[in-house]
A and B are shown apart, each in its own frame.
Chain A
Amino acid sequence: MEKEKDHIIPYRTFLYVLALLIALTLTSVAITQIYLGTLTVVIALLIAAVKSSFVLRIFMHLKFENKIISIAVVAVVLVLAAVIFITFLDYLYR
């Protein structure tokens, strides 16, 4: 059982990411105060997706893990999206 050389993320990196995440949060609050119709939800979710990708890649270490885990995460999200899409094929066209 070889000991892998574990990758250590510097404290500073986490703090930079935190700053970015807070900035994005405040941005999403500000933007959604402006009335943009259906675009509001889309933008809010897009910002949420960007925040998530930082949490996944840095906090949860995905950037430095085996690529297969990242692919699996994306696959799971896509499967969920596909289920929602197909369900909407019912509700949209009733």
Chain B
Amino acid sequence: MNTQTGIVEPSFLEHKGKYTGIFSWIFSTDHKRIALLYLFSILSFFVVGATLGLLMKFELIAPGKTIMTPEAYNAFFTLHGIVMIFAVVIPGLPAVFGNFLLPIMIGAKDVAFPRLNLLSWYLYVAGVSLVLISQFAGQGPPDTGWTFYAPYSFRTAGNMLPAVFGAFVLGFSSILTGLNFLVTMHRMRAPGMTWLKMPLFPWTLYATGWVQLLATPIIGITLLMIVAERTLHIGFFDPTLGGDPLLYQHLFWTYSHPAVYIMILPAMGAISEIITTFAHKTIFGYKFMVVSALAIAFVGYFVWGHHMFTSGMSGTALYTFSLLTFLVAIPSAIKVFNWISTMHQGSLDLQTPFFWAAAFIFVFMVGGFSGLILGSLAANVHLHNTHFVVAHFHFIVFGGTGFAFFGAMHYWYPKITGRMYDTRWANIGLVLFFIGFITLYGPMFYLGFKGMPRRYYDYDEVFHAGNIISTMGSWVLYSGLAVIIINLFASLKGGIKAPADPWGGKTLEWTVPSPPPVENFDEIPVITKGPYDYQ
């Protein structure tokens, strides 16, 4: 309600602008609508990727052929990776929650470049369309894995060009989002909000923005080089022409490792917000949380070789990358310590978002420790390209970013929709999901350790039992997912109306109505206190 005129402003969902119907969404430059456009697209592709995963797991329930040919299996895991990495987890939290919450959390009316924001969504749609086209046109879907390794990626008959171009365009979308957020935080913080009064979710978006800006162009140019290999036979990665396939791997991972920090940093920021709110206590070690986020972004830029330990690099490179990999774990550990310390002697409100945050810490630590194991050179020789790696990255990416995404979804649901979700079904969904998750990915550590390779359509009978358990886990996970998503949709109509601040949060988004009006604030607030001002 506008305190001066006494008029209740319509929420951004009800706002009547220049366009009507669907055009009021796809032509909107309102950061909140763009966030929801992204949510719709990303959720759709998540379901596509998850279904692919479900079918892959079903194939693996028994050795030999179950439901698909080996060629189909290769195409499945390629698309699963491309969709999940480029279309879901990298845009994920920044595009949805960053877009919706960042301006509000810093006291701004929108991002710095609203039209560029809409453009980044258009590029997202164009990119995923190209990826989908690669499945159906030409000589058959790509079968290289999402990593597009040379020389196979320029020798295979599969449809590489649309897939590679799609990834390129998606990269551009990511760059523009990061650029927009960086400038927004530099120029549009509310009066009195110094950098060190900015909440932690924006801070992690800031660190992420630099990674998006400085790492993504490297994969851009690398993908263009693959295009040049396929079309012009340029020779950069072709050993018969003097090129080095290993150089492709260097370039690819120089982006794709920092990319995982694009995935995890905003997740960590969201977890910080959730834990602080539900502990009703200021985050422990705010400055360390800020510095550790920046440190993860920075050090994470130099560890890419740990994806290449068995590929033939020099000994010097091996131990340099291993050392740096261990170093980058330290700031993450600091964050975990600070989250636990925040909870300690806090006044815990046990709500769904908090459960997601607690689950996050557990799976993130499992994923993180398994990463340290993989970062040890000797262990890596045994574990590289086995299911141990698959378990590691699903725990840390799906567990990390995925759990944080669902936590954020429930935490900010009242703010975005103006409704409360059904708590009982939300928690049932979470429990199903968690049990499914552990059952699906846990056995993979064991299977990998025992020697089961990854990206293999078939396996030795000795791995059968573990695979049966894992596949059944995928069914439980998928049903948990269904319960969660259906509950969130059903609560749009049936949920009770949410107040501005259902959780007792202290950051700025809880001072505006649920859902917020178009320009977020009647008057830009003047900030005098830190972001987590609990007594």
Binding site for B on A (CB under 8 A): 76, 79, 82-83, 86-87, 89-94
CB contact under 8 A between A82 and B302, given known A76-B214, A90-B250: yes
What 6 additional pairs, Cβ within 8 angstroms, besides A91-B314, A94-B314?
A: A82-B301, A83-B301, A89-B316, A89-B320, A90-B314, A93-B317
- 23 A-B residue pairs with Cβ-Cβ distance under 8 Å, sorted by A, are A79-B214, A82-B301, A82-B302, A83-B254, A83-B302, A86-B302, A86-B317, A86-B321, A87-B250, A89-B314, A89-B316, A89-B317, A89-B320, A90-B250, A90-B305, A90-B313, A90-B314, A92-B314, A92-B316, A93-B314, A93-B317, A94-B312, A94-B314
**B315 an interface residue at 8 Å Cβ cutoff?**
yes
- A82, closest chain B residue (CB): B302
CA distance A93 to B320 in the complex (A): 12
Shortest Cβ gap from B322 to chain A (Å): 12
A93 x B214 contact (CB < 8 A): no
Chain A residue numbers with a CB within 8 Å of B214 are 76, 79
Residue numbers in A under 8 Å from B321 (CB-CB):
86
* Chain B hits for A90, CB < 8 A: 246, 250, 305, 313-314, 316-317
Cβ contacts under 8 Å, A79 to chain B: 214, 301
Number of interface residues of B (CB under 8 A): 15
Q: Which of B304-326 contact A (CB under 8 A)?
A: 305, 312-317, 320-321
Could you list which residues of chain B lie within 8 angstroms of chain A, going by C-beta atoms? 214, 246, 250, 254, 301-302, 305, 312-317, 320-321
CA distance in complex: A87, B254 (Å):
10
The list of the 4 closest CB pairs from A to B, nearest first, reads A93-B314, A90-B317, A93-B316, A90-B313
Q: Which residues of B contact A94 (CB under 8 A)?
A: 312-314
CB neighbours (8 Å) of B317 from chain A are 86, 89-90, 93
Closest A residue, CB atoms, query B312: A94
Q: How far is the CA of A82 from the CA of B258 in the complex (A)?
A: 15
**Bound-complex Cα distance A91 to B244 (A):** 11
CB distance from A50 to the nearest CB of B (A): 25
Chain A residues, Cβ within 8 Å of B313: 90, 94
* Residue from the set A76, A87, A90 with the largest chain B CB neighbour count within 10 Å: A90
B504 to chain A, nearest CB (A): 36
Residues of B within 8 A of A89 (CB): 314, 316-317, 320
> Which residues on A sit within 8 Å (CB–CB) of B315?
93
Write out the residue numbers on chain A whose beta carbons fall within 8 Å of the beta carbon of B302.
82-83, 86
Closest B residue to A80 by beta carbon equals B214
In the complex, A78→B314 CA distance in Å? 23
Q: State A92–B320 Cα separation when bound (angstroms).
A: 13
User: Residues of A contacting B246 with CB < 8 Å?
Assistant: 90
- Write out the residue numbers on chain B whose beta carbons fall within 8 Å of the beta carbon of A82: 301-302
Name B303's closest neighbour in chain A (CB-CB). A86
Residues on B with C-beta less than 8 A from A87 are: 250
A91: chain B residues at CB < 8 Å are: 314
Specify which chain B residues have a CB less than 8 angstroms from the CB of A76 in the assembled complex. 214
- Shortest B257–chain A CB gap in Å is 11
Q: What chain B residues lie within 8 Å of A86 (beta carbons)?
A: 302, 305, 317, 320-321
Q: Nearest CB to that of A68 among chain B residues? A: B186
CB proximity of A85 to chain B, nearest CB, Å: 10
Bound form: Cα–Cα A90–B311 in Å: 11
Complex Cα–Cα for A87 and B308 (A): 12
Complex Cα gap A91–B249 (Å): 13
Cα distance A94–B302 in the bound complex, in angstroms:
19
Closest to B308 in A: A90
Most chain A C-beta atoms within 10 Å of own C-beta, residue among B250, B302, B315, B317: B317
In the complex, chain B residues whose CB is within 8 Å of the CB of A93: 314-317
User: Which chain A residues lie closer than 8 Å to B316 at the CB level?
Assistant: 89-90, 92-93
CA–CA, A62 to B507, complex, Å? 36
A3→B27 CA distance, assembly (Å): 32
Nearest CB of chain A from residue B140's CB, rounded to whole Å: 34
Q: Report the Cα distance A86→B319, complex, angstroms.
A: 11
Give CA–CA (A82, B215) in the complex, Å: 13
Taking the nearest CB of chain B, how far is it from the CB of A54, in angstroms?
A: 25
Which A residue's beta carbon lies closest to that of B246? A90
Q: CA separation between A49 and B36, bound complex, in Å? A: 46
Closest residue of chain A to B254 (Cβ to Cβ) is: A83
Shortest beta-carbon distance from A74 to chain B in Å: 13
Q: A83: which B residues are within 8 A, CB to CB?
A: 254, 301-302
* Chain B residue nearest in CB terms to A66: B186
A84 to chain B, nearest CB (A): 10
Query: B313's closest neighbor in chain A, by CB?
Result: A90
Question: For B312, what are the chain A residues with a Cβ–Cβ distance below 8 Å?
Answer: 94
Chain A residues contacting B320 (CB-CB under 8 Å) are: 86, 89
Please, which residue of chain B has its CB at the minimum distance from the CB of A76?
Answer: B214
Question: In the complex, which residue of chain A has the Cβ closest to the Cβ of B311?
Answer: A90
Kindly state the separation between the CA atoms of A91 and B251 in the bound complex, as whole angstroms. 14
Q: Which residues of A contact B314 (CB under 8 A)?
A: 89-94
The chain B residue sitting closest to A83, CB to CB, is B254
